[in-house]
Structure 1
Amino acid sequence: MRPILPTLLVCATLSAPPALASSYEFVPAPQNDLNRMYRIDKVTGEVTSCQYGLQESGGGIGQTVCFGAGEGAGAQPPSEYGLVASRHAREAGVFRVNYRTGEMSICFVLVKKEQVVCTQQSRPGAEATEGVQTGRTGPSATPPQGGRP
């Protein structure tokens, strides 16, 4: 007679889901008249996006239009990534944040190229490097927020 316990352990191991399966986070664009949703792979930081699109012919219910990862939106070094939407009602992009390093970048859809693109990862207080700007470079187009009038 064979022992049942080792056989049960083998069966349980084979039917278990992979422990390292990718997990995703989804965040809507803050723009209140845009039906766009961003997705990030929480381990690799890759950002993609989808939105609803009208069907030009056929009178159907429409279609899901998705944008793949373009420049800067592809996989980053493995870490713990997330997406944060601002509260700016006219902003179509989101922030990609690295919770382990504190780095951030801005990601948005370039509709003409049909891609999500992201700026280079940076963090406040980090030394300025080529292509990364710290602080303001000119007057802000965003009105002051949260202060007294």
Structure 2
Amino acid sequence: MSQKKRAASASLRRAVFAGALAACALGATAARAGNYDFAPAPQVDLNRIYRVERVTGEMGACQYGLKEGSVGVTLCYGPGEGGGAQTPGDYRLVTSRHEREGGVFRINDRTGEMSICYVFNEKVVCTPQAR
């Protein structure tokens, strides 16, 4: 094999290797690309889903609502007292097994702190974080 062909072959191998590395990095980023965690309220007769922004801990919730003459509406609630952005962390939601509980636990996996969050006066409010 001539030196020119060997150089072209080596260049091609480097390009393929670089492309494979980029694809792996992109795949890893896409696997963790979701900025939110979601959990349903454990209450069995409530169709509410909560969400938490994973880094800031900001809360929100949405549920289905009836609207005459239509298929219905999505009712969403923004953050209220204690439900806004917190100290940056690694937040997620956990539901209790209590079938009449309308709220969810906001957990900070970095600190072990948690609070309970629920809809009150059309806002998602949360108790102070504690351990």
TM-score class, shorter-chain normalisation, is 0.7 to 0.9
Q: Note the 1:113-132 alignment, pairs <5 A.
A: 113-123=121-131
Distance, in Å, in 1 between the alignment partners of 2:90 and 2:38 is 14
Counterpart residue number, 1:34: 46
RMSD after superposition: 2.1
Deviation for aligned residue 1:114: 1.0
Distance, in Å, in 1 between the alignment partners of 2:95 and 2:122 is 21
1:24-64 superposed Cα distances (whole Å, 9 cap, x missing partner): 11100000000000001111111100000000x3x211100
Distance, in Å, in 1 between the alignment partners of 2:112 and 2:130 is 8
Deviation for aligned residue 1:75: 0.7
Percent identity at matched positions? 61
Secondary structure of 1:91's aligned partner:
coil
Q: Is the 8 A contact 1:34 1:92 kept in 2?
A: yes
Which is greater in Rg?
2
Counterpart residue number, 1:91: 101
TM-score normalized by the length of structure 2: 0.74
TM-score normalized by the length of structure 1: 0.66
* 1:64 paired to 2:105: no
Say which structure is richer in helix.
2
Q: Note the 1:1-149 alignment, pairs <5 A.
A: 23-55=35-67, 57=68, 59-110=69-120, 113-123=121-131
1:118-137 superposed Cα distances (whole Å, 9 cap, x missing partner): 000000xxxxxxxxxxxxxx
5+ long unaligned stretches in structure 1: 124-149
Bigger relative contact order, structure 1 or 2 (CA pairs below 8 A, ≥6 apart): 2
Distance, in Å, in 1 between the alignment partners of 2:34 and 2:58 is 11
Distance, in Å, in 1 between the alignment partners of 2:52 and 2:85 is 10
Q: Is the 8 A contact 1:22 1:43 kept in 2?
A: no
5+ long unaligned stretches in structure 2: 1-14
